[in-house]
Amino acid sequence: MKTYVIIFKFFFGVFYILMGNAAYTQNAKNPIIFSDVPDLSMIRVNDTYYMSSTTMHMNPGLPLMKSKDLVNWELIGYGHGSLGDSDELNLNNGKNDYGRGSWASSLRHHNNMYYVSTFAKSTGKTYIHMTKDIENGPWITKEFEPLMHDHTLFFEGDKIYMIWGAGKLNIVELKADLSGIKLETQRVLIENATLPSTSEGIRGGLPAEGSQLFKVNGKYYLFNISWPPGGMRTVIVHRADNLEGPYEGRVVLQDKGVAQGGLIDMPNGKWYAYLFQDYGAVGRIPFMVPVKWEDGWPVLGIDGKVPMELELPESKGLIPSIVNSDDFSRKQREAALPLVWQWNHNPANELWSISERKGFLRLKTDRIDNTFLQARNILTQRTFGPTCTGATSIDVSKMNDGDFAGLSLLQKNYGLVGVYMDGNQKSIVMINASTGQPENVAMIPLNQKNIFLKASCDFTNRKDVASFFYSLDGHKWEPIGTELKMTYTLPHFMGYRFGLFNYSTKNPGGFVDFDYFTISQ
């Protein structure tokens, strides 16, 4: 009998070790989303988490996602379709809105209503979008001046507040109908919120901004990010017993440049901080950081460090929930474009269609554009790491003289592969703008109406390079042009995006048909 017990214990021990290792290898890893999802704001409603983020000059804008486990997120909608109608937002008359649009948002749930607020330098306004059904709408929008930079929306009893600013943080009460602020209630909440990370009198760096306020066990916790000169992105928390203060602050995390965000609790009582990291050309990527409470303060990380593995379920990947392939075939009552797609600036809706030729995306031209970055109707999706590839097929038989259509990697220092028509001759062209100035680095004659194009990105260890390819039959791929050195630039303030484009440089009125877009690791 003893022998059986020993054998049982041995196999049970082996089983336990194997199961333990299996569970360990299935844990989530940071970043939880290896793609450009910055300025996170997050809430939990029962057992479901919701998140808002930033896509600035993309439309529809203010993306909304949901998750059951804090790791696997899916797009469920957007806060707005467009910020307005202006030359900048429409890419008219040589004007644009790159790096502007709607910025950091604040997502809240109060009295069975969802609120997501943001602000826009494009219009100088603050916006509050409201709905009882965050996944299906309808939405009600309130907008008012002034623009309240990096604000946090906060409900206290029957009053509604906003805290905003950079360095000097302000608080104000909003009108009950959210139509504006009660100016007489505005005051300075914290004179210098940067002090916990940067001593008085030190110049340079980034002052405390990105406010997010939480109430936990009767105390108020205000999260901010700073960037001390010569240092890295830093998480600061100020704590108070009363909303109006006084507040005491401390640095709660300074590791790997992971910062800006706030707190989220799980139904099982565990706490996390949701933050993000600047990761080169792919953009600003979300991290989850475990939180423990000590002496009434949130303690972020493990021994002050951001762990790369988490006690959360493993990621199932970003496809199809955040990015996805599209064959442009639609069933009845399906949306014309899935949520994974966003237009660069406002679209010209009369110049695109997925119904004029079934199973194809048609992009038309009606004006002359001299530069790619001023072209309307660039349809985009995020790139993602560590590597990704986007591919498409185009029917170019209806192009006019001077038309240029194809596949792009969109940022200020962009890359393009496409078909350019000069007179009656079509050519496959690769343009490389790694230096900030576009260079035509390859041109190959094309004598057929269909062409296959591909772009592959490598963000591994911030390598940040991309290569372009073409195929005449969809099977044999040939490299074209030179390697694109991708750079995250502040004028665009966004990670690189795949884009489908068509614009005219001479004779508008032509069109092209995209058969599909496939995206893969």
pLDDT digits (tens, 9 = 90+) for 164-217: 999 999 999 999 999 999 999 999 999 999 999 998 878 778 899 999 999 999
In tens, the pLDDT along 455-491 reads 999 999 999 999 999 999 999 999 999 999 999 999 9
pLDDT of residue 10: 44
pLDDT of residue 73: 98
Q: How confident is the model at residue 19 (pLDDT cuts 50, 70, 90)?
A: very low
pLDDT of residue 24: 37
In tens, the pLDDT along 352-404 reads 999 999 999 999 999 999 999 999 999 999 999 999 999 999 999 999 999 99
Residue 302 to residues 29, 47, 107, 227, Cα–Cα distance (Å):
15, 26, 27, 21
Tell whether the model's pLDDT for residue 500 goes beyond 70: yes
Tokens (6 digits) for 277 = 């990291």
Count, residues in the chain:
521
pLDDT of residue 26: 66
Query: For residue 481, which of 455, 514, 446 has the smallest C-alpha distance?
Result: 455
Question: How far is the C-alpha of 197 from the C-alpha of 192, rounded, in Å?
Answer: 11
Under 8 Å between Cβ of 385 and 278: no
In tens, the pLDDT along 430-452 reads 999 999 999 999 999 999 999 99
Question: How far is the C-alpha of 499 from the C-alpha of 490, rounded, in Å?
Answer: 19
SS3 label, residue 458: strand
In tens, the pLDDT along 324-339 reads 999 999 998 999 999 9
The CATH number, out of the four listed (3.20.20.10, 2.115.10.20, 3.40.50.10490, 3.30.300.20), of the domain defined by the range 28-313: 2.115.10.20
Q: How confident is the model at residue 15 (pLDDT cuts 50, 70, 90)?
A: very low
Same fold across 28-313 and 342-520: no
Biggest CA–CA distance in the chain, Å, is: 92
Tokens (6 digits) for 179 = 């139509």
Which residues lie below 8 Å from residue 464, measured CB to CB, with a gap of 6+?
A: 280, 281, 282, 458, 485, 486, 487
Average pLDDT, whole number, for the chain? Answer: 94
Please report how many Cα atoms fall inside a 13 Å half-sphere around the Cα of residue 26, on the Cβ side.
7
User: For the chain, what are the domain ranges?
Assistant: 28-313, 342-520
Mean pLDDT of 268-281: 98
Domain spanning 342-520: which CATH class is it, in words? mainly beta
pLDDT of residue 202: 81
Q: How confident is the model at residue 13 (pLDDT cuts 50, 70, 90)?
A: very low
